[in-house]
Amino acid sequence: MIQVENIYKTYRLKDQTVKALDGVSIEAPDGTIFGVVGFSGAGKSTLVRCLNFLEYPDEGTVTIGDFGTISASGGKLFRDGKEIKERDLRLIRRNIGMIFQHFNLLDRCTVLENVEYPLKHTGKKSAEIKARGLELLELVGLSDKAYAYPSQLSGGQKQRVAIARALANNPKILLCDEATSALDPEATDSVLALLKELNEKLNLTIIIITHEMAVIKAIAKQVAVMENGKIIEQGDVYEVFANPGQSVTKQFLDTASSLGNLPGLIESGHELVAKKENEKLLRLTYTRDSVGDALISKIARECDVDINIALANIDIIQDEPLGGIIASIRGSDDKIEKALEIFKKCDVRTEEIERD
Ligand SMILES: Nc1ncnc2c1ncn2[C@@H]1O[C@H](COP(=O)(O)OP(=O)(O)OP(=O)(O)O)[C@@H](O)[C@H]1O
Ligand SMILES: [Mg+2]
């Protein structure tokens, strides 16, 4: 388990101070895939660097599995009241793998040498190190590239090497900072599939930091949404995205959905969403609890209203559907009112969209 309680981190520059982490608490149970999303500058990378103490928090505690609770204070780290030194942190870091956006491979070393690198100076014999390196390459599906150099690999393959290297010391936790942000969609999918497989096979706890909603949708079980150094929402990924409480969370949802086109369409006065008389523009949210089938045509018929779908999107999050529809509904006020009541009764959330 990783538990972070109330951590703060402020960067002091010449002419300004930046509160990168402003009282952040998260809890990721063992074996989970925990996503942290947020726009650029939200504090995601700072958070992940504080998890393996590449960066010391100013204040707060970090609890990591067997290593107990480490508290930060005055630029120092303590456990059970005793100060922890850099060299003690090495053992902790060995148990926490990390991968980055730009892979950080050693270009002059072969793929196998890259993977073996963290095993050097651990007292293991070179034959043992080589066997472990080959085993790791098999785990990530790159046995045939052992003697290639990083420059001879695709981006997705490079990230697989980085994953193999990060797992060399059998860590229980893998931190991923924008691990797929430099990859094309296909390579992204294959790296995400590998992470999911490793999560299941090794019971690896994965903390995945990203600004890409698609990554969270694909593999996260829990999610925390960050803004301005704070966690503004967290929980089960389906629950958070089916019932987003904060506007940043909604914006995120829309970044990976055709519904994200709505503000642009409204701004350009597009016919699909143009204001008409006796008409409201609605956003309908269908969750796993919603009665889906033919509801729109049924309501149109029963309530004598016209419903026109402008945009629609269905996601599958953790194997469950989550749908969003932008539709205009046209009719007298009382008929629209009745239609909205039926939507509500069928667990379809409705929100009116204002257009000025
Ligand atoms: N070493 C540093 N020195 C000074 N300021 C920093 C440092 N690292 C981060 N910051 C500032 O802290 C804030 C949070 O940065 P951080 O890198 O954690 O954001 P992020 O959410 O990872 O963003 P991105 O999605 O762009 O990677 C930003 O305002 C950033 O400028
Ligand atoms: Mg970052």
pLDDT digits (tens, 9 = 90+) for 247-261: 999 988 888 889 999
Give the chain's mean pLDDT. Answer: 93
Mean pLDDT of 42-69: 94
pLDDT > 80? residue 89: yes
Which tokens is 269 given? 């006065």
Is the CB of residue 41 below 6 angstroms from any atom belonging to ligand 1? yes
Q: What is the pLDDT of residues 138-173, one digit of tens each?
A: 999 999 999 999 999 999 999 999 999 999 999 999
Which tokens is 291 given? 């009665």
| Other CB atoms within 10 A of residue 271 CB | 8
Confidence of residue 356 (pLDDT cuts 50, 70, 90): confident
257-352 belongs to which CATH class? alpha beta
Q: For position 293, what pLDDT does the model report?
A: 64
Angle, to 10 degrees, between the axis of helix 155-166 and the axis of helix 185-202?
20
Q: For position 355, what pLDDT does the model report?
A: 87
What residues does CATH 3.40.50.300 cover in the chain?
A: 2-243
| Other CB atoms within 10 A of residue 293 CB | 8
Q: Which ligand 1 atom lies nearest to the CA of residue 229?
A: 14
Confidence of residue 85 (pLDDT cuts 50, 70, 90): confident
- Give the separation between CA 245 and CA 263, rounded to whole angstroms: 19
- Give the separation between CA 215 and CA 263, rounded to whole angstroms: 23
Going by C-alpha positions, the residue among 174, 241, 210, 180 that lies closest to residue 36 is 210
pLDDT > 90? residue 46: yes
| Other CB atoms within 10 A of residue 259 CB | 20
- Give the separation between CA 10 and CA 244, rounded to whole angstroms: 28
Q: What is the pLDDT of residues 212-242, one digit of tens each?
A: 988 999 999 999 999 999 999 999 999 999 9
Top-confidence residue, 290 or 78: 78
Q: For position 255, what pLDDT does the model report?
A: 86
Is the CB of residue 119 below 6 angstroms from any atom belonging to ligand 1? no
- Give the separation between CA 104 and CA 85, rounded to whole angstroms: 26
CA–CA–CA angle 108, 96, 89 (5° rounding):
95
Residue 59 near residue 4 (C-beta atoms within 8 A)? no
Q: For position 335, what pLDDT does the model report?
A: 96
Residue nearest to atom 16 of ligand 1 (CA): 43
Q: What residues have a C-beta under 5 A from ligand 2, the ion?
A: 45
- Give the separation between CA 33 and CA 36, rounded to whole angstroms: 10
pLDDT > 90? residue 289: no
Pocket test for ligand 1, best of 8, 9, 10, 11 (most atoms within 8 A of CB): 11
Q: For position 223, what pLDDT does the model report?
A: 97
- Give the separation between CA 240 and CA 279, rounded to whole angstroms: 30
* Ligand index nearest the alpha carbon of residue 177: 2
Q: What is the pLDDT of residues 180-199, one digit of tens each?
A: 999 999 999 999 999 999 99
pLDDT > 90? residue 11: yes
Tokens 């990168």, residue?
Answer: 20
Top-confidence residue, 85 or 219: 219
What residues does CATH 3.30.70.260 cover in the chain?
A: 257-352
pLDDT > 80? residue 292: no
Confidence of residue 94 (pLDDT cuts 50, 70, 90): confident
- Give the separation between CA 233 and CA 236, rounded to whole angstroms: 10
Mean pLDDT of 11-34: 95
Fold of 2-243: Rossmann fold (3.40.50)
Confidence of residue 291 (pLDDT cuts 50, 70, 90): low
Q: In this structure, which long-range contacts are made by residues 314-317, counting pairs with CB atoms below 8 Å and at least 24 apart in sequence?
A: 314/286, 315/217, 315/241, 315/256, 315/257, 316/217, 317/217, 317/237, 317/238, 317/241
* Ligand index nearest the alpha carbon of residue 22: 1
C-alpha distance across the termini of the chain, in Å: 48
pTM, to two decimals: 0.92
Q: Which of 83-87, 106-110, 325-329 has the lowest mean pLDDT?
A: 83-87
pLDDT > 90? residue 300: yes
Alpha helices in the chain (DSSP H): 44-51, 86-94, 111-116, 126-139, 155-166, 185-202, 213-219, 237-242, 247-255, 262-267, 295-303, 333-345
Residue 56 near residue 76 (C-beta atoms within 8 A)? yes
Confidence of residue 60 (pLDDT cuts 50, 70, 90): very high
Is the CB of residue 210 below 6 angstroms from any atom belonging to ligand 1? no
Going by C-alpha positions, the residue among 23, 19, 22 that lies closest to residue 5 is 23
pLDDT > 90? residue 67: no
| Other CB atoms within 10 A of residue 219 CB | 19
Top-confidence residue, 111 or 292: 111
Q: For position 48, what pLDDT does the model report?
A: 95
Coil, strand, or helix at residue 325? strand
Q: How far away, in angstroms, is 49 Cα from ligand 2 center?
A: 10
Residue 21 near residue 209 (C-beta atoms within 8 A)? no
Residue 149 near residue 105 (C-beta atoms within 8 A)? no
Q: For position 62, what pLDDT does the model report?
A: 96
- Give the separation between CA 211 and CA 35, rounded to whole angstroms: 10
Q: How far away, in angstroms, is 41 Cα from ligand 2 center?
A: 7
Residue nearest to atom 29 of ligand 1 (CA): 41
Which tokens is 328 given? 């205009």
Phi and psi at residue 52, to the nearest 5°? -110, 15
